[in-house]
Structure 1
Amino acid sequence: MKKVAILIPEHSTIHVVAISRFMFETVNQFLISSGREKLFDIKLVGQQKQMQIIDGPFMVTPDLLINEVDDTDLIIIPPMAGNMQEGIWANKNSIDWIITQHQKGSEVASLCVGAFLLASTGLVNGKKCSTHWGFNDEFRTMFPEVILQDGKIVTDEDGIYSSGGANSCWNLLLYLIEKYVDRETAILTSKYFAIDIDRTSQSSFAMFKGQKEHKDDAIRKIQTYIESNIEEKFTVEDLAEKVALGRRSFERRFKLATNNSVLEYIQRVKIEAAKRSIESSRKNINEVMFDVGYTDTKAFRTTFKKITGLSPVEYKNKYNKIATD
């Protein structure tokens, strides 16, 4: 029997707590129906006997308090809502509990921005971790020791798991079911819940917002210039000249401030503009390409797919409502 402790953090959201429990319970029913014994002993655990849930007038009664859990095989950390710093502070007792259980051999899985609580334990320092794409900059600022995986749906390192944004939690839960049970049961579960079991990237959902919460005014000036002139072809030398910096110094400062190389930043700004145009206009792909300063079709298509995980045509077919009206 695998003991699964689903933590109910302060500031948590009810739907992820609910789907986590429901999925493991459903797998137990699949196993019983196929003549096998149920595998998962699922408990909701919390710091108090009544846990206030952030999204609405809901209270959750845990099965156990954290100090009543002697040991567990897996801890699930659902996402918190609101201010992450405040959420971490409100859950400081749970942080110590997670560390203690991991030291006893428990695996740990964070869902979406539950990664902030996971990272607060120090267990992923120097390790890979995923979170919601919209919180990447905040996460990097708060936890620079963690190797954040841009765009990944599921990250697995040394028995510590994390998922990307929002519905990516379903994919991590399926991943765990495949690991603990088998591929056949994971596929059955994915069909039952209508989930794409092999989705690996959240890149097509991500909206790039350049990291500007830094103190380097010269680099912020160049970021604004790039974003205001997407139709131009930029060279690193020209951009460095605009702020009277040598190329090497400019590149070093740009990377430090934005977590992107100059070339990566230019590409991501241009592709983000291209995405918005593809989503909301009747322009063909070549027109969009020229609008954002590309003249080489192959280079545009390659860069677009590298960043979004889809070709421009695939992206248009998926997200352009105008084209299908």
Structure 2
Amino acid sequence: MTIGLRIAIVAYEQALPSALYGLGEVFYAVERFRERNESVRSLEWRYLLVGQDDRMSSLPCWQADERVDVVILPPCSAGQTPVCPPDWLVAWLHQQHQQGAVLASACGGACVLARSGLLDGRIVTTHWLLEETFRQQFPNVRLNLDAVVIEEADLITAGGIMAWLDLAMRIVWRYYGAILVAQLSKYLLWDSGEREQRYYRRFQPPKQHGDGAILKLQQWLEVHFQTTCPLSQLAEQAAMSPRTLQRRFLAATQLTISSYVQHLRLEKARELLETTVLPVEQITWQIGYDDRASFNKLFKTQIGLSPKAYRQRFSGASSVGRT
């Protein structure tokens, strides 16, 4: 007899309700498709309740002493980050992992796993907006915010708020294969095409560093990013030596000045590609570059798409005036 797959969806206090219910719907659909082939292992999914939640009380739940094969930490609701998990949940996560369970998270759910210590030294992804907070709170975790999903033998992490669906489909692919994923994709109208989180990630310059002189320079660069300005001139404007400016700027922003300006220019390029029909050559010139070929190469390296492909994917203006 084929041993069934047991999945626990952790319903912690700040978990996104649509993800909690949506994950259940995906796994319910898997079981329906699976019933057509009795040789395929069954799937049993339930919730693990953390705290009192009347909305979940009538749904199938695991007891804390039951063993599962996959543990899922869903994303948290918009604008929230999970509080420190209770001691019993941390102990339960460690126990399940030691017994061979695969740990999985989407978006802010990675914070719950990180607070348990189970992500130390591991390469994971989470939502790009959580980067600064995550790096401060969990310095021993290695972030890769370019990827939508990162999968290892015993750990699967997904990035964005809606990436819980990508996470669920990756779990289905691992245990049930590509054919069932293809069936589910058609049923759910889910695009199974590969994509990366860096397509969507926006530059969020750190400004809470407490260095007033560097903050003032950041504000100046945001207005004059298209102007090539010598380091000596920037240092004079900041009233410090070039060497001191470089050191303090790097300490405050974790970027060199040239990298910072590059990020500002690419952000402006993305904005113009999304909102205008300006030729790429003109955008290249407007943001401070002279050579389109070099700009195209830089854009593709940093964003993961060529300017043309980016515009086709994200522009609301690319079809203006066309039939």
TM-score tier, shorter chain, comes to 0.7 to 0.9
Structure 1: gaps spanning 5 or more residues: 53-58
Aligned to 2:60: 63
Aligned to 2:293: 298
Aligned to 2:11: 8
The 1:158–1:233 alpha-carbon spacing in structure 2 relative to 1, beyond 3 Å, is farther
Alignment of 1:141-180 (within 5 A): 141-180=136-175
Contact 2:84–2:112 (8 Å) recurs in 1: no
How far does the alpha carbon of each residue in 1:81-128 deviate from its partner, in whole angstroms, 9 at most, with x for none? 26656x323655423322232222211101111111111111111211
1:317 has 2:312 as partner: yes
- How many corresponding residue pairs? 315
- Counterpart among 28, 31, 36 of residue 28 in structure 1: 31
Matched AA of 1:51: D
The 1:187–1:287 alpha-carbon spacing in structure 2 relative to 1, beyond 3 Å, is same
Structure 2: gaps spanning 5 or more residues: none
The 1:212–1:286 alpha-carbon spacing in structure 2 relative to 1, beyond 3 Å, is same
Contact 2:206–2:253 (8 Å) recurs in 1: yes
Aligned to 2:226: 231
The 1:168–1:261 alpha-carbon spacing in structure 2 relative to 1, beyond 3 Å, is farther
**Separation in 1, partners of 2:204, 2:170:** 30
The 1:122–1:14 alpha-carbon spacing in structure 2 relative to 1, beyond 3 Å, is same
The 1:235–1:156 alpha-carbon spacing in structure 2 relative to 1, beyond 3 Å, is farther
By how many angstroms is 1:235 displaced?
5.2
1:104 has 2:99 as partner: yes
**Separation in 1, partners of 2:228, 2:158:** 36
By how many angstroms is 1:157 displaced?
3.5
- Counterpart among 75, 99, 116 of residue 79 in structure 1: 75
Matched AA of 1:190: S
1:185 has 2:161 as partner: no
By how many angstroms is 1:294 displaced?
0.8
Alignment of 1:181-260 (within 5 A): 181-234=176-229, 239-240=234-235, 242-243=237-238, 244-247=240-243, 250-260=245-255
The 1:103–1:250 alpha-carbon spacing in structure 2 relative to 1, beyond 3 Å, is farther
| Cα RMSD after superposing both structures | 2.4
The 1:162–1:282 alpha-carbon spacing in structure 2 relative to 1, beyond 3 Å, is same
TM-score when normalising by structure 1: 0.87
By how many angstroms is 1:5 displaced?
0.5
Aligned to 1:275: 270
Of stretches 124-133 and 181-190 in structure 1, the one that deviates more from structure 2 is 181-190
- Counterpart among 42, 47, 52 of residue 44 in structure 1: 47
**Separation in 2, partners of 1:84, 1:245:** 41
Contact 1:267–1:303 (8 Å) recurs in 2: no
By how many angstroms is 1:138 displaced?
1.9
The 1:257–1:147 alpha-carbon spacing in structure 2 relative to 1, beyond 3 Å, is farther
By how many angstroms is 1:130 displaced?
0.7
Contact 2:119–2:141 (8 Å) recurs in 1: yes
The 1:261–1:106 alpha-carbon spacing in structure 2 relative to 1, beyond 3 Å, is farther
Matched AA of 1:63: P
How far does the alpha carbon of each residue in 1:18-62 deviate from its partner, in whole angstroms, 9 at most, with x for none? 1212212212222211343443211111124x426xxxxxx1225
Contact 1:47–1:93 (8 Å) recurs in 2: no
**Separation in 1, partners of 2:98, 2:251:** 34
TM-score when normalising by structure 2: 0.87
The 1:169–1:241 alpha-carbon spacing in structure 2 relative to 1, beyond 3 Å, is farther
**Separation in 1, partners of 2:151, 2:241:** 41
**Separation in 2, partners of 1:6, 1:136:** 24
User: Tell me, what secondary structure is at the counterpart of 2:139?
Assistant: coil
**Separation in 2, partners of 1:245, 1:169:** 49
**Separation in 2, partners of 1:77, 1:91:** 14
User: Tell me, what secondary structure is at the counterpart of 1:6?
Assistant: strand
The 1:227–1:165 alpha-carbon spacing in structure 2 relative to 1, beyond 3 Å, is same
